[in-house]
Amino acid sequence: MTVPRILHLHSSFDAGGKELRCVQLINAFGRDAEHAIVSADPERRSAAARLSGVAKVSWPEFPSLKGKPLPGRLKRIAAAMAGYDLVCTYNWGAMDAVMAHTLFADVYKLSPLVHHEDGFNEDEAGGLKPIRNFYRSIALGRSSALVVPSRTLERIALETWHQPRTRVRLIPNGIDTRAFTKPPKSDALPRVVKRKGELWVGSLAGLRAVKNLPLLIRACRDLPDEWQLVIGGEGPERSAIVAEAAAHGMEDRVHLPGQVEPAKATALFDIFALSSLSEQFPISVVEAMAAGLPIAAPRIGDIAAMVATENGPYLSAPGDEAGLAAAIAALAADPELRRRIGETNRVKAKAEYDEGRMIERYRALYWGLMNRAGIAG
């Protein structure tokens, strides 16, 4: 039996949503496939630490995914895709590879390509760029599937990028919900311990401008003294977040432990909060739901549809600092409210967002395309 070879092209492989889902699928597929992962930024590969080691994974040399989409460069990218049984590309950072596949698939006899679109960075948080929309619509012309995790992105793919319905696949992200039900350990996080009597507002996010984390600090500044804000993640905005905490006299109440294990971190939180300018289907919200937490967040992407109905009143308009602060304050003031909303979120996460269903849908898509191309799996 031939083991298929899958190529994954990422702009970076730091521990973000799309990267961790990629790891999750690689681990789940085990020895049924071999995987080659490309990070356009070789220094950003922190998600690799989550690979289980069961699957065979390589890190091949590959032409840069950055640069002008000139024919010669795109042709070199296409040539580097040859020899794989499936090509998986991720987000705008790999769109030149998608264009290269469309232009040169016949020349190099390239295998099917599946593009995954999970959302947008700060440069498109306020609105999509028309030139990028046009480029996407052309580049995706020969792709076999466009996978999106949210209904918002599904609508954009169909209406803005003009993709045919048969190409667009909505596969919501899933997690191992059972992992988030284990009792937390107070010292489970690096550099921060939950002390007796403390209560935590928690967030898991890359420390990037699009996550708008200084706003979250301001939204928590008037909470009672026993409340701490813990933000798990790393990124270029760390110094700005530290400066915002200092500006509001919150140095001793804002904690940045760096990268953390979501199941260990989320279980320690009492409220989960987001302040992002742009999200689609944030997996951290599903993780918080599975841990039985209430969510305070902006009403962006699919968040309003993701959370239980009882959680709806604690979502605010994007960028509404006062609204987010009011939601957090209301939840902080009422332990029974937190428990009740958290339990409804837990039930919904288990019923709708467990990883088993997601993994099987991806397996069916990937292996269906590879078998159609003549690969035994």
What gap in Å lies between CA 209 and CA 152, rounded to an integer?
Answer: 21
On whether the CB atoms of residues 331 and 296 are closer than 8 A, the answer is yes
Question: Which helix or strand (DSSP H or E) is residue 254 part of?
Answer: strand 254-258
What gap in Å lies between CA 293 and CA 311, rounded to an integer?
Answer: 10
Q: Render pLDDT for 253-269 as a digit per residue (tens, 0 to 9).
A: 999 999 898 999 999 99
Torsion angle, alpha carbons of 133, 135, 136, 141, to 10: 130
Name residue, tokens 């109905």: 309
What gap in Å lies between CA 288 and CA 2, rounded to an integer?
Answer: 40
DSSP for residue 237: T
- For residue 315, pLDDT over 90 is answered with yes
Mean pLDDT for 352-374 is 91
Helices (H), 64-123: 71-81, 95-108
- For residue 76, pLDDT over 90 is answered with yes
- For residue 102, pLDDT over 70 is answered with yes
Mean pLDDT for 327-351 is 97
Domain boundaries defined on the chain: 5-174+355-372, 177-352
> Length of the chain, please?
377
On whether the CB atoms of residues 15 and 46 are closer than 8 A, the answer is yes
On whether the CB atoms of residues 2 and 377 are closer than 8 A, the answer is yes
Please give the pLDDT value at position 119: 82
Q: Percent of the chain beyond pLDDT 70? A: 97
What gap in Å lies between CA 200 and CA 189, rounded to an integer?
Answer: 13
Mapping DSSP to helix (H, G, I), strand (E, B) and coil, where does residue 144 land? coil
For every residue of 304-332, DSSP letters joined together read: HHHS-GGGGGGEE-TT-HHHHHHHHHHHH
CB count in 10 Å sphere of residue 143: 20
Burial of residue 372, with CB atoms counted within 10 A of its CB: 0-12 exposed, 13-18 middle, 19 or more buried: exposed
Mean pLDDT for 15-19 is 87
- For residue 377, pLDDT over 90 is answered with no
On whether the CB atoms of residues 89 and 98 are closer than 8 A, the answer is yes
Packed helices 17-29 and 355-372: angle between N→C axes, nearest 10 degrees: 70
Please give the pLDDT value at position 375: 58
Task: For the chain, report the end-to-end CA distance as a whole number of angstroms.
Answer: 7
- For residue 142, pLDDT over 60 is answered with yes
DSSP for residue 373: T
- For residue 332, pLDDT over 60 is answered with yes
User: Could you give the C-alpha distances from 183 to 16, 46, 206, 261, 263, in angstroms and in order?
Assistant: 25, 26, 25, 14, 10
On whether the CB atoms of residues 84 and 16 are closer than 8 A, the answer is no
Please give the pLDDT value at position 249: 95
- For residue 62, pLDDT over 60 is answered with yes
Please give the pLDDT value at position 280: 84
What gap in Å lies between CA 348 and CA 307, rounded to an integer?
Answer: 8
Architecture of 5-174+355-372 per CATH? 3-Layer(aba) Sandwich (3.40)
- Domains 5-174+355-372 and 177-352 in one fold: yes
Q: Report phi then psi at 338, rounded to 5.
A: -60, -45
CB count in 10 Å sphere of residue 202: 25
Q: Give the sign of the dihedral formed by CA 22, CA 169, CA 276, CA 335.
A: negative
Q: Render pLDDT for 205-244 as a digit per residue (tens, 0 to 9).
A: 989 999 999 999 999 999 999 999 999 999 999 999 999 9
- For residue 55, pLDDT over 90 is answered with yes
| Mean pLDDT of the residues in the chain | 94
- For residue 369, pLDDT over 90 is answered with yes
**Beta carbons within 8 Å of 340's beta carbon, 6+ residues apart:** 310
Mean pLDDT for 36-42 is 95
Nearest to 182 by CA among 265, 243, 267: 267
User: Could you give the C-alpha distances from 253 to 42, 59, 236, 341, in angstroms and in order?
Assistant: 34, 40, 21, 25
Largest CA distance in the chain: 66
Least confident of 19-23, 124-128, 148-152, 155-159: 124-128
Whole-prediction pTM: 0.78
- For residue 374, pLDDT over 90 is answered with no
| Superfamily of domain covering 177-352 | Glycogen Phosphorylase B; (3.40.50.2000)
Q: Indicate the pairing of strand 295-298 with strand 271-273.
A: parallel
Please give the pLDDT value at position 373: 59
Please give the pLDDT value at position 122: 67
pLDDT band per the 50, 70, 90 thresholds, residue 320: very high
Q: What residues are paired with 116 via a beta bridge? A: 90, 147
Mean pLDDT for 335-341 is 98
